[in-house]
Structure formats: C-alpha cells, structure tokens
C-alpha cells in the first residue's frame, strides 16, 4: 500500500461519514457535504499527478496499465457526477449518493493499488 491509497482511504471515509450522517439527520446537501466530496476529487487528482510522475520516472506497474488508468479515470468522474446530482435534487437522499462517493473511491483506489503492485 502506498500513501496515495491511504490518502483516499482517510478522505473517502471522512467524506462518507459526513454525508451519511447528514442524510440520516434529514438534511439537504450543503456546503460541508459537497466540499467533502470535492476533497475526494482533489485527492484523486493528486493520485493522478503522482501516478503520471511515477510512470515518467520509470516505475512500472505489475498489472495492466490500461486497467489502472481506466479505474483512475472512472474514479475521477464519479465525484463531479454526484455533486451535479446533489445540486439538481436537493433532498436528503442526495447526501446518501454523495456518501457513496467516498466508499467507491476507496474501493477503486484499493484495486488501483493492487494493479500497481
């Protein structure tokens, strides 16, 4: 496991907890829940930049490169889609959609870590 995975783990779990608690409290999406998901996106962008640098410096993945980049590209698309959803549908249920982002990013980061190593 590398630092990128642990960063996604920490930020993803915190974001999920924030969003699920807000949903349980029957609150509509707000700045805190949306910014927690944007923090997940920021960590994934750092993961992207770090991965590009690692490849540029000559590191090789143990698995298929196309699979790693596919997971990363997909993970990067999920937070903006969830935020867009939460802006369109301002109900408490959107917080549960936002809460799924952190867990999804975490699972995808775990798979990317397996592919890399």
Task: Name which of 32, 12, 23 is nearest 109 in CA terms.
Answer: 12
CA-based end-to-end distance of the chain: 8
Which pLDDT does position 117 carry in this prediction?
A: 87
The single residue listed with the structure tokens 């699979």 is 67
pLDDT tens digits, 27-57: 999 999 999 999 999 999 999 999 999 999 9
Say if CB 27 and CB 91 are below 8 A apart: no
Residues of the chain with pLDDT below 50 are none
Question: Per-domain residue ranges for the chain?
Answer: 3-116
% of the chain surpassing 70 pLDDT: 99
Count other Cβ atoms within 10 Å, centred on residue 15.
28
Token digits of residue 23: 């949903």
Q: Is 48 exposed, middle or buried (0-12, 13-18, 19+ CB in 10 A)?
A: middle
Say if CB 76 and CB 41 are below 8 A apart: yes
**Residue ranges of E strands in the chain:** none
């Amino acid at each position: 496991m590398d630092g990128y995975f642990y960063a996604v783990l920490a930020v993803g779990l915190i974001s999920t907890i924030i969003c699920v608690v807000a949903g349980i409290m029957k609150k509509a999406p707000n700045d805190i829940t949306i910014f927690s998901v944007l923090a997940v996106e920021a960590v994934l962008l750092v993961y992207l930049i770090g991965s590009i640098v690692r490849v540029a410096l000559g590191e090789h993945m143990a698995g298929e490169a196309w699979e790693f980049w596919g997971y990363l590209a997909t993970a990067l698309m999920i937070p903006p889609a969830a935020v867009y959803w939460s802006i369109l549908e301002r109900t408490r249920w959107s917080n549960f959609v936002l809460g799924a982002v952190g867990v999804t990013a975490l699972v995808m980061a775990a798979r990317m870590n397996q592919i890399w190593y």
